[in-house]
């Protein structure tokens, strides 16, 4: 059996090696390393795939979130609501901009924020909310958008884990995650569902005025070279990464199907095990399984991980510590003793199993059997 990895980027590369090698060499030979035609082509392809007016490629997903928040013109002290159960980047950029991250709990089954949880945290200082489509499934966005409308809040979607997922509105309209709020952000970190061979990110919006401001901020605040209208940053996707991403974007839906197939096999194997809760699926979102995350009794979680490790099966804990308990954020927490019981309990009971596009049946069967053996 091939060794099992959380993600197998090498095996995925080997299948597209000819195409990728050619694109990389062409890009290098062209000498257009920055803002070359490859970047423009990828931007256009992603705009088309997502059905948005503007994609602004940038250097990574964290920059995408930072630039998005900078474009909203918020003032120090303004509050931005985020889940506590997410990757650090979501809240980090808020704190970095001297805004106040207000961390809230999530739904115990979908691991995502809900409109009710957001509404309970709104104050007269709240200016924006950053829903995270965690692990590859959309937040239930329709009620969130209604809430944002009612309270006049900006919605910046952290779509780093869910690119390619579809959200269906109650009237039947289907839209890609990341295109539902004012601004969407994503990451092309290699292990993400649309991963580059290095760092990368993108910001998307349907609002052309915002798009202009996002583009300006990503490029030193300039609308014209050497004329700086505002203080910006330097955040670019390079041409080599763009060339690779164009090839992988064309396969993104196929890749999502491969992940869904793995998840389907896990679901089937673990569905009836008393101690395992398989990932809950929402009616109105597809799931692109950036992670396949089980919930197990807290007192058995670490033992399960150790058992799997002995069997050469990697697994990961996303995430072991709630953001509101991280030392870095303590100065930003408004209500020091506000507890987020769901997040705290998830941090003790979740375990993510390997899920990627190159998993074969032998590996899958082996993982399923070992997980089942542990709970027998
Ligand atoms: C990966 C990730 C990011 C950050 O992306 P980078 O490209 O690593 O900066 C932000 N938010 C979430 C939820 C992520 O998973």
Q: What is the mean pLDDT of residues 23-46?
A: 97
Is residue 246 within 8 A of residue 38, CB to CB? The reply is yes
Using alpha carbons, select from 31, 119, 37 the residue that is nearest to residue 81.
119
112-137 pLDDT, tens per residue?
999 999 999 999 999 999 999 999 99
**Which sequence spans correspond to the domains of the chain?**
11-104+111-249, 252-374
How far does residue 89's CA lie from ligand 1's centre (Å)?
A: 6
Q: What is the mean pLDDT of residues 187-195?
A: 98
Q: What fold does the segment set 252-374 form as a domain?
A: 3.90.1150
Tokens in use for 199? 């760092």
**pLDDT class of 339 with cuts at 50, 70, 90:** confident
Nearest CA to ligand 1 atom 3: 61
Pocket of ligand 1 (CB under 6 A): 60-62, 86-87, 89-90, 132, 158, 160-161, 187, 189, 199, 201
Q: What is the mean pLDDT of residues 366-376?
A: 97
Using alpha carbons, select from 155, 201, 209, 202 the residue that is nearest to residue 180.
155
Residue 334: its pLDDT value, please? 73
Q: What is the mean pLDDT of residues 135-162?
A: 98
Pocket test for ligand 1, best of 64, 68, 183, 187 (most atoms within 8 A of CB): 187
221-276 pLDDT, tens per residue?
998 899 999 999 999 999 999 999 999 999 999 999 999 999 999 999 999 999 99
Residue 1: its pLDDT value, please? 93
How far does residue 226's CA lie from ligand 1's centre (Å)?
A: 31
Average pLDDT, the chain: 96
**pLDDT class of 333 with cuts at 50, 70, 90:** confident
3-state SS, residue 130: coil
User: How many Å apart are CA 257 and CA 247, to the nearest integer?
Assistant: 17
Q: What is the mean pLDDT of residues 288-297?
A: 98
**pLDDT class of 52 with cuts at 50, 70, 90:** very high
Q: What fold does the segment set 11-104+111-249 form as a domain?
A: 3.40.640
Residue 337: its pLDDT value, please? 58
Domains 11-104+111-249 and 252-374 share a fold: no
Using the structure block, give the residue that is written with the tokens 């709104």: 122
Tokens in use for 291? 């992670």
How far does residue 315's CA lie from ligand 1's centre (Å)?
A: 19
Task: Quickly count: other Cβ atoms within 10 Å of residue 376's Cβ.
Answer: 5
Residue 25: its pLDDT value, please? 98
Tokens in use for 83? 């889940």
Is residue 8 within 8 A of residue 359, CB to CB? The reply is yes
Percent of the chain with pLDDT over 70: 99
Q: What is the mean pLDDT of residues 136-164?
A: 98
Q: What is the mean pLDDT of residues 76-101?
A: 96
Q: Give the Å distances, CA to CA, from 140 to 89, 281, 340, 365, 369.
A: 21, 11, 20, 33, 34
Tell me how far apart the terminal alpha carbons of the chain are, to the nearest angstrom: 24
Q: Record the pTM.
A: 0.97
Torsion angle in degrees (nearest 10) through CA of 252, 258, 261, 266: -110
Pocket test for ligand 1, best of 62, 64, 113, 203 (most atoms within 8 A of CB): 62
Cα–chain center distance at 179 = 13
Q: What is the mean pLDDT of residues 3-22?
A: 97
Residue 336: its pLDDT value, please? 61
Is residue 94 within 8 A of residue 80, CB to CB? The reply is yes
List alpha helices for the chain, DSSP H.
9-15, 17-30, 37-50, 61-71, 89-96, 115-119, 141-151, 208-218, 239-249, 252-270, 298-310, 341-349, 361-375
């Amino acid at each position: 059996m091939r060794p099992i990895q959380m993600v197998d980027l090498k095996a995925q590369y080997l299948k597209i090696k000819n195409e990728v090698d050619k694109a990389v060499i062409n890009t290098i030979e062209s000498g257009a390393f920055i803002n070359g035609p490859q970047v423009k082509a990828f931007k256009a392809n992603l705009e088309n795939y997502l059905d948005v007016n503007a994609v602004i490629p940038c250097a990574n997903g964290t920059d995408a979130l930072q630039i998005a928040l900078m474009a909203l013109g918020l003032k120090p002290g303004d509050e931005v609501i985020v889940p506590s159960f997410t990757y650090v980047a979501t809240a980090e950029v808020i704190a970095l901009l001297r805004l106040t991250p207000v961390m809230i709990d999530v739904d115990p089954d979908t691991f995502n924020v809900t409109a009710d949880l957001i509404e309970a945290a709104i104050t007269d200082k709240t200016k924006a909310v950053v829903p995270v489509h965690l692990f590859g499934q959309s937040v239930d966005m329709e009620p969130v958008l209604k809430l944002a409308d009612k309270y006049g809040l900006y919605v910046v979607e952290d779509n780093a884990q869910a690119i390619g997922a579809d959200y269906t509105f109650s009237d039947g309209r289907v839209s890609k995650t990341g295109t539902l709020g004012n601004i969407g952000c994503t990451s092309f970190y290699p292990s993400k569902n649309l991963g580059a061979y290095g760092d990368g990110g993108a910001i998307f919006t349907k609002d052309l005025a915002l798009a202009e401001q996002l583009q300006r901020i990503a490029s030193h605040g300039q609308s014209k070279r050497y004329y700086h209208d505002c203080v910006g940053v330097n955040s670019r996707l390079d041409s080599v990464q763009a060339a690779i991403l164009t090839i992988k974007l064309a396969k993104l839906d196929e890749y999502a199907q491969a992940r869904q197939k793995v998840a389907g096999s896990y679901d089937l194997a673990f569905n009836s095990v008393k101690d395992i809760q398989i990932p809950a699926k929402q009616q109105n979102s597809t799931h692109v399984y950036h992670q396949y995350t089980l919930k197990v009794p807290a007192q058995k979680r670490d033992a399960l991980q150790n058992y799997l490790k002995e069997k050469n099966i990697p697994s990961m804990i996303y995430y072991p510590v709630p953001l509101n308990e991280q030392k870095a954020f303590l100065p930003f927490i408004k209500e020091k003793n506000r507890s987020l019981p769901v997040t705290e309990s998830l941090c003790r009971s979740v375990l993510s199993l390997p899920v990627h596009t190159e998993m074969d049946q032998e590996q899958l069967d082996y993982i399923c059997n070992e997980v089942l053996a542990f709970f027998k």
